[in-house]
Chains A and B, each alone.
Chain A
Amino acid sequence: MTAEVLLQGIVSGLLMGFVYALIAAGLSLIFGLMEIVNFAHGEFLMLAMFSTYWAWALWRLDPVVSLPLTAAALFLLGFATYHGLIRWVLGAPMLAQIFATFGLAIFLRSAAQAIWGVDFHLVKDPLVQGRISLGGIFIGLPQLVASVGALLAFVFLNWFISRTETGLALQATAQDRQAASLMGINTERMFALGWGIGAACVGVAGALLTIFFYVFPDVGSTFALLAYVTVALGGFGNVPGTLVAGVVVGLIEVLGGLLIAPALKYVAVFVLYLLVVLWRPQGLFGRF
């Protein structure tokens, strides 16, 4: 294994890690707000990718251009999911919540197959393509744009949560629902908003991913598993923690593949995750 290959691996892992982090961010946000894990998160991602793909296939809108549209569409989806499903299982046991979102996952995936069929799609000739070479290390421009986009989304998300009035209200609701409610915060609206923003994050991630990844009804499940691990690794509800965890997952994946064996790269990720939660049961930056 030459240093060049290793360095290339680290760069690739970092770039992918930012995208993983953004996918997981929405999940983490929603959990922090109301302690619900959305098991349909992968399907949200899939819908975001299809939305991006169709914007391109029908109107020739490049993924980068249609990104705000996709984010808005997913915001609505998250909002609708909260009102149509989640609101009704808020007081239910954790298992009922898990299965409500599992049911939603199966439903959305099958709906995508029924409507769009089971063909693989790609956005051809996106605005951003090609790569740059730095001393023998290649950086794919789509990946670079996706990573920078993911980072910007994180900065925006962080600013929104900690600096705006709505964001502070969200935080207050997350910390103590009743107290927030007494302070005159409409917690119901906050929850719906949280779902909207969480889904919009996935929307941005899906749009960026579509620049260089295939679109398919099953594509979400591949990423969802990593997203759950990322969120738990970073600590549920901790958005900056998710960013760090995403990068760690991306790096371990590539390094595990290079140094151990490609077949076992996800084993490396999962083992690392287990080791971390054994040492810190609440994840790297989580709170109990």
Chain B
Amino acid sequence: MRRAIGLLSLALVALSPWAPAQAQAPKEVVIGILYPLSGPVAQVGIDSVNAVKMAVEIINNGGSTLNLPLGKTAGLPGLGGAKIRLVIVDHQGKPDVGQAEAERLITQEKVHALYGAYFSSVTATASQVAERYGMPYLNAESSSPGLTERGFKWFFRTSPHDGHFSVAMFDFMKDLEKRRGVKIKTLGIMHEDTLFGVDSAKVQEELAKKYGYEVVIKMAYRAKTTSLDAEVGKLKAANPDVFLPTSYTSDAFIFVKTAKNLDYNPKMLMAQNAGWTDPSFLTEMGKDAEGHITRAPFALDMADKKPMIKPINELFKKLKDNPGGRDISDVPARAFTGFIVLADAINRAKSVNPEEIRKALAATNMPPEQLIMPWSGVKFDEKGQNTGVRAILQQVQKGKYATIYPFELAAADVVYPLTPWKDRK
């Protein structure tokens, strides 16, 4: 009878996988990974999954000479050498799919923790499910500040949010004014109209008030636009000293082309990563990207200060799922780091009991030497936000991202002001 019902269920819901709840393998820790793997931002998801797989390989195989927690031993020593297994799902960028998948991962795939989901809106619904089931959820890349303001007990975020990033931008402007004696008075904010852009622009507007800058223009535009002629026209008319765009890749491309075409020359362009740190942005934009500043949580050029960056990047470039051999960029670097933090917590918990993992996460205190990020470490506050985060700013110089801020971490001097289009070669 059982069997008949089982067959019926298969017939009813076609091929949906409810593998019979497997007996809990003591030698295995299962982690559910949620990323967008189709649609316009799929590449970010694919790169992040690759970074996570790389972390799992390092942890499971052991024998790594890197100064990573869990790198030397095979598996998780705290759980008798248990190996990590991933269940990777595509949430297609849809909050409802993220929610359903989170629930499926918890109840059917029997995962021990959830990880992902890049899009702030999907992270919001998926972590809501985790909260309800009492399942640890670690997020390494969603930047909406509200996520850690919900008073959740099971939600942790290793990466900086828009608030941190924008504060760095405004500190930089003040410091630059002091250091170089330049005068910055007016700001222009342009943002795409999804959650990411709206949140970022709001934070920037508030900070502008606090830091005493005047926002002369603030405008939203459709993320899926075919032209930005009107937008650049308005910017030219308002002519702010510093221009702060928040864009995804496609619109960043259109913006730069249009600015060049219409001869729009702000003295400084400072972007909220996303489009401006997309790996294809530099390779495709070439010299047109020169001089643009973007915030970033990660920098390849800090290799002398962070010796681990280079070998990790080499590993990443050699991954078989990374055929182009591209460098590890901002989001995958954050995904890698976040996953190491999660694995380390599970190892310290010495158990797959959710409550134990949560406690171990809350007690995380990872020193900066074990990170490839420019942070002062990983340590969560009571809201689950990593307090060790530090945002850095990079400028495109000679076709590469050069770290320019904070000044003590800088690998290069700021080029200011931006070279006007007519003087570029």
> Chain A residues in contact with chain B, CB under 8 A?
1-2, 5, 8-9, 12-13, 16, 110, 113, 117-122, 124, 131, 133, 138, 140, 142-143, 212-214, 216, 218-219, 221-223, 226, 253-258, 261-263, 265-266
Contact = CB atoms under 8 A, between A and B. Distances in A.
Contacts of B22: none
A1 B227 CA distance: 19
Contacts of A221: 224
Given A9-B233, A140-B261, A254-B229, A218 B285 contact: no
24 contacts: A1-B237, A5-B233, A5-B236, A13-B229, A16-B227, A119-B280, A120-B280, A121-B280, A122-B285, A124-B286, A131-B263, A140-B262, A142-B261, A212-B257, A213-B257, A214-B284, A218-B39, A218-B40, A255-B230, A257-B221, A257-B231, A261-B219, A262-B219, A263-B221
5 residue pairs, one from A and one from B, having the closest CB atoms: A257-B230, A12-B229, A140-B261, A263-B220, A122-B284
A280 B13 CA distance: 48
B249 interface: yes
A16 B226 contact: yes
A113 B221 CA distance: 26
A274 to B, nearest CB: 18
A131 B230 CA distance: 18
Contacts of A121: 280, 284
B72 to A, nearest CB: 35
B233 A12 contact: yes
Interface string B251-271: 001100100111100000000
A276 to B, nearest CB: 20
Contact of B230 (A124, A216, A265): A265
Nearest to B225: A222
Interface in B214-254: 219-222, 224-227, 229-231, 233-234, 236-237, 249-250, 253-254
A8 B280 contact: no
B212 to A, nearest CB: 27
Contacts of B254: 213-214
From A2, A8, A113, name the one whose CB has the most chain B CB atoms within 10 angstroms. A8
Interface string B186-219: 0000000100000000000000000000000001
Contact of A117 (B43, B227, B234): B43
Interface in B270-287: 278-281, 284-286
B219 A119 contact: no
A120 B261 CA distance: 20
Contacts of A142: 261
B66 interface: no
A219 B41 CA distance: 13
Given A2-B237, A263-B193, A120 B249 contact: yes
B64 interface: no
Contacts of A2: 237
A131 to B, nearest CB: 6
Contacts of A143: 261
Interface size bracket, B side? 35 or more
B308 interface: no
Contact of B229 (A9, A223, A266): A9
A19 to B, nearest CB: 9
A140 B256 CA distance: 13
B376 interface: no
A131 B261 contact: yes
A255 B46 CA distance: 39
A83 to B, nearest CB: 30
A262 B255 CA distance: 13
A164 to B, nearest CB: 33
Contacts of A140: 261-262
B38 A113 contact: yes
B42 interface: yes
B226 A8 contact: no
Interface string B285-312: 1100000000000000000000000000
B42 A113 contact: yes
Contacts of B42: 113, 118
Contact of A118 (B40, B225, B234): B40
Contact of A262 (B41, B231, B250, B281): B231
A256 B229 contact: no
A262 B234 contact: yes
Given A16-B227, A131-B261, 11 more contacts: A5-B236, A9-B233, A110-B38, A124-B284, A124-B286, A216-B40, A222-B250, A258-B233, A262-B220, A262-B234, A263-B221
B221 A262 contact: yes
From A124, A143, A214, A218, name the one whose CB has the most chain B CB atoms within 10 angstroms. A214
B20 to A, nearest CB: 32
Given A218-B40, A263-B219, A258 B261 contact: no
A222 B233 contact: no
Nearest to A140: B261
A120 B250 contact: yes
A196 to B, nearest CB: 26
Nearest to A122: B284
From A13, A119, A131, A221, name the one whose CB has the most chain B CB atoms within 10 angstroms. A119
From B222, B229, B281, name the one whose CB has the most chain A CB atoms within 10 angstroms. B229
A257 B229 contact: yes
Nearest to B278: A120
B261 A138 contact: yes
B361 to A, nearest CB: 32
A258 B237 CA distance: 10
Contacts of B260: 131
A118 B193 contact: no
A222 B248 CA distance: 15
Contacts of B233: 5, 8-9, 12, 254, 257-258
Contacts of A255: 230
Contact of B222 (A113, A117, A119, A263): A263
B279 to A, nearest CB: 8
